[in-house]
Amino acid sequence: MPDIAPKVPAKKLSQYRVTGEIPVPVLINWLSIAAVPLLAFFAFRSLGRGDFITSAPLILFAALMIGNLFIYIVFRHTTFQRRAFIALSTILFTYLALHPVEGGTAIIWFFAYPPIVFYISDARVGVGTCLVGFLGVALLFFSPPAKQLLDLPYSTSFRITMTAVLAFEMVTCYILDRSRRRSKLGLMAMAKEFEYAAKHDALTGLANRREALDQLDAEYERYLRSDRPFSVLLADIDLFKSVNDTYGHHVGDELIVLVADTLREQCRKIDTIARWGGEEYLVLLPETEEDEAVQIANRIREAIAKKAIIVEQHTVHCTASIGVASIKDAESIDKVLQRSDEALYRAKTLGRNRVCAHQDEKTA
């Protein structure tokens, strides 16, 4: 049988995250909270030395970080929060490179920039901002205009080493980020396939019994809230055991799939179709009274009766008996299922290939 599990596109997977992964807004909030005391610490050190030109921008950056944090808390605008944080970080690291804070040693904080920007943004933004940052550092260190305009306290060996190590870190961050994203997509695809397998029958691709019960519970809750009716069909392939005994179980499996495909063709998008067990199927019909459910069941029965499979030049026809029950008053789901099962038993007793509604003396 073909693999019926859906292949989940990466674009759709990107909206999910792996359990345990820190959400980007939370990470930005914690980075902001961590940055504020650091900026305040170095600002007060500069104030202690009487360097107001250095301390004022650091205090301003701390205030802007706090402002971005509170804006997110109030408005929950994740895109604005991320872009504002990247912009503030870029300006801050540029300031640390241009202004000799702490005797010029503060420029080493620039190494924190690549991993942060790769983690909190997509790969394209990470590559773009890192390239701009690297070119800025290279021009700052080695361009003649920068040497003439800025009196930076960096030796030639430090500039070469700093530039080389920064390039190495950016390339490493890019490689690790690609690996992280691929692993994340792989884990999410696997989780999506496991979720599908947990809710669907492997042979037919229909919902399995557990998923059908979940859908029944949801529809029952909706019925209790809004008094909107629903009906249940229980369908069973007639004389299925004789097909298995005569032609083998592989032909029986083909017959099960054939009926499942027919149910898909005949049912509505809002209906839930499930393989209830063996050669038995359950169809949940929301917004459906019993009379309409009987009509739908007859349409399904007639469509199944027209189907057949060819086995070694023999035509194996297929029919099904269907029991119908609709929700009444405040009865439980178990009671609805019991009544549909009793109706199915009557359909079998009365000669198969027919539809019976519970407590209806006439066959439909």
Q: What is the pLDDT of residue 19?
A: 52
Record the pTM. Answer: 0.61
DSSP secondary structure letter of residue 361: S
CA distance 5 to 198: 11
Per-10-residue mean pLDDT of the chain, 364 residues long, equals 41 48 87 92 88 90 94 92 90 83 83 90 89 88 83 86 93 93 88 89 94 95 93 96 90 94 95 95 96 96 93 87 93 94 95 85 43
- CA-based angle 271:275:279, to the nearest 5? 130
Q: What is the pLDDT of residue 213?
A: 95
Distances (CA, A) of 115 to 104, 153, 176: 22, 26, 9
**Contacts with 308 (C-beta within 8 Å, 6 or more apart), sequence order:** 315, 316, 317, 318
CA distance 154 to 136: 15
Distances (CA, A) of 332 to 223, 326, 335, 336: 11, 11, 5, 7
Other Cβ atoms within 10 Å of 47 Cβ, number: 15
239 CB-contact burial (10 Å; exposed 0-12 / middle 13-18 / buried 19+): middle
Q: What is the pLDDT of residue 349?
A: 94
Q: In this structure, what is the dihedral angle of CA atoms 147, 153, 155, 158, given to the nearest 10 degrees?
A: -110
Distances (CA, A) of 45 to 1, 35, 53: 72, 16, 12
Report which of 303, 346, 358 is spatially closest to residue 321, judged by C-alpha positions: 346
What the chain holds in terms of domains, given with CATH numbers, is: 10-196 (no CATH), 209-357 (3.30.70.270)
